[in-house]
Every structure is written in C-alpha cells, then in structure tokens.
Amino acid sequence: MTDEKQTPGALSGIVVADFGRILAAPYLTMLLADLGAEVIKVERPGAGDDTRGWGPPFAQGQATYFQSVNRNKTSVALDLRSDEGQRYARELVRRADIVVENFRPGTMAKFGLSYAAVQELNPRAVYCSLSAFGGGKGAELPGYDLLVQAAGGLMSITGEGEPTKTGVALVDVLAGLHATVGVLAALRHRDATGEGQLVEVNLLSSLLAGMVNQSTAYALAGVVPAPMGNRHPSIAPYEVFPTADRPLAVAVGSDGQFGTLCRAIGADHLAADPRFTDNTARVEHVEVLAAALGEILATRSAADWEALLTPLGVPCGPVNDMAGAFALADRLGLEPRIPAGNADLPPLVANPITLSRNPVRYTAAPPELGSGTDRVLAWLDENRSPQR
C-alpha cells in the first residue's frame, strides 16, 4: 500500500473522538480511520470495549471480533464517571472534528457529553449518535443486533419456515454504513459553513431501509413477505440448486439469460413452455420450474456447471465456505487481506474502498487497551482551555 507520508489519506487532519463500542460505531470509526482520520478510542479502564472479551476465537492475544473493527485507532483509558475522566473527555471533544457515541440514549448526558454540551464546547463538531430504536419512545429498549433483526422483520423473511437471523450482525453494519454517510455529509456542510450538527442513526430504521424491495413491497403494496429460503420474491430462477457434489447458486435476472441457461443444459423445452416464457410467469410457477431445473443440475458437479454457464453469461457459482470465499477473492486479485508490510498489522480483512488519489491506509494494528493514554493525555494537557 502507499506510504501515508507520500499520500495523505482523504480524511487526514480530521480528529475523531470515538466513544463507541461493540460494532456499529466502531465500524464507522474504523472506516474513517482507514481513510486517514486520527481516531482516539475512549475505553473503560481495566475492561475496555466489550468485544475485547468476545471470543473465541482469539488471535495475537485479542478477540478476533474486536480486531475486526478497531485497526488504525489509538486507545485511551478514561473513567467517564470521574471528574478527571470527564475533564479530559471534554478537552478531547473540544479539539475533535467528529464525535461518535452509541451508548444508550441519555448516557452521554450523564457524563456531561451530550450533543448540547459538546456544541457549546465546539460548535464546529459533527456529533454522531447511534442507537437501536432512536432517542424517543424507543430509548429504553435494549439494543442488540439480534433483537433488531427479530423486531425489525429481517428474521421473518430469512431462512425456511422458522425465523432465522443472518450469520453476521448485519444490522449493526448497515447502521455503521448509514452513519458514515451521514457523518461525511455533515462534515462537508461543516467545511462549507463552519457549522457542526447532530447526526442520528438507529438500527431499526437502517434495517427497514436496508431491506429495500421487501420493505417497500409492504410500504407501497401492503405485501407482508414470508420466508422463501434461497429464493427471490420477484425473480426466477434465482436460488440454490443441488448438484452432483455441492450446492450451486443460479441467479438468472433476465429472459435472455433464462433462454441461454435452457439451451446450455439441454432444456429448450423449458424455454418454450408458456409457464416460463417471461419472468412474471416463472415466478408464478417457480415450484415446477425449480423441480425441472433441479433434476437436470443434479446430474453434474457444481464446478462443471460453473465452467459451462459462466462463459455464456449465466450468473452462477458454488456455495463457498469462508475459505472458499477468500480463495475466490485471491484468485480474482482483489487482495481480501491487508497486504504484508503494513505497520506490522495482522492479515485483517481489507477495506473494500479503492480511491485513486487517496488510497486507504493501514497504519496501526488494533490497539492494546489504554496503549495511547499517556501520549493523548499529554497532548490534551498542552494549551488546555482554562475554562473547561
């Protein structure tokens, strides 16, 4: 990767006071750090971010969960319940461009760090607050991803029959991404006007927005989606089929692709069948179609079908495990891990953003708890505001 001394990150010079923990907020602040911002992560002395203990698995003595969202940051141990901790925290937000927190609504106010308090200290600060169900009537509800997946409807459309969560805390990631967009928009406004502002993102609203066609089907047409397993409510064939050895995903998105699929597998009769002549008809008769395709696809291996269909423009591929997914990314030259030689970082999963002028930088491994406390507090003591 490009040396940071040669090419500044797109957000170089931006200071982030990071009071976030678990996943949504740390994901946001890691993205900002990857783009060059100086992220100072405030943690509880002796305990730190809860995810430091969320293992197994562990690697390099740290939980891999914590490592997944905390690279490129400086850890400062501050007791926000103490006068001294609050004094340093106020000095930090006074110097910050961005303040991020995802405590339960009202908690930051107890520490003297509410948006109103920070705005008085630093009117230019962009203050991002993430919550599970918003700061109003949902403020007292507990905020774990699983609960939002359940209450927000995602589990009702996932799996087959029994409500099923996704295999990762997807709602936290969605909220972190939405918050990143909001923060960068507010930062653009701040740079143009000098005015900071409050950015609020909650997990439930992020999930409803992130369910796109499914949530819009309800909002516009009153359709309450049901779980469909690996099928799609509006496209067919668009599901996973058994083959002679392992499952194969087939994602046919057009009538042309369907015709090509049928010709390639020797099933021209399916393309000519009036039940399958267009996508709407195929969705209506998806059970019959799936049975007919499944009988043919079961005769050869997934690799055979992929080798035959992919060059013809029919989207398909085997269902990989994580090892297979990384192998595919490696084979395609996508560099899914942080390349060796980047500040002695372990081979963490790489940032997917590519910038031609300000490439993502990897400057520091996920920090040990409080490893930057002395350096940061010394900086905060320099030219400290006597009024604060």
Q: Is the pLDDT of residue 187 over 80?
A: yes
Position 151 in a domain: yes
Do 64 and 105 lie in a common domain? yes
State the average pLDDT for the chain. 95
Residue 385 — very low, low, confident or very high, per pLDDT cuts 50/70/90?
low
Do 257 and 116 lie in a common domain? no
Q: Give the model's pLDDT for residue 2.
A: 37
What is the pLDDT averaged over residues 136-147?
Answer: 90
Do 291 and 160 lie in a common domain? no
Whether the CB-CB separation of 149 and 211 falls below 8 Å is answered with no
Number of domains in the chain: 2
Active site residue 172: yes
50-95 pLDDT tens trace: 999 999 999 988 999 999 999 999 999 999 999 999 999 999 999 9
Position 315 in a domain: yes
Do 338 and 304 lie in a common domain? no
Position 3 in a domain: no
Do 22 and 112 lie in a common domain? yes
Position 346 in a domain: yes
Position 221 in a domain: no
Q: Is the pLDDT of residue 200 over 60?
A: yes
Position 10 in a domain: no
Do 327 and 341 lie in a common domain? no
- 385 versus 18: the higher-pLDDT residue is 18
Do 347 and 315 lie in a common domain? no
Do 116 and 35 lie in a common domain? yes
Do 346 and 301 lie in a common domain? no
Do 44 and 183 lie in a common domain? yes
Task: Determine the structural domain holding residue 282 and report its residue range.
Answer: 238-331
Position 227 in a domain: no
Q: Is the pLDDT of residue 7 over 90?
A: no
301-344 pLDDT tens trace: 999 999 999 999 999 999 999 999 999 999 999 999 998 777 67
Q: Which of 18, 34, 145, 172 is catalytic?
A: 172
Q: What is the CATH number of the domain that holds 138?
A: 3.40.50.10540
- 332 versus 6: the higher-pLDDT residue is 332
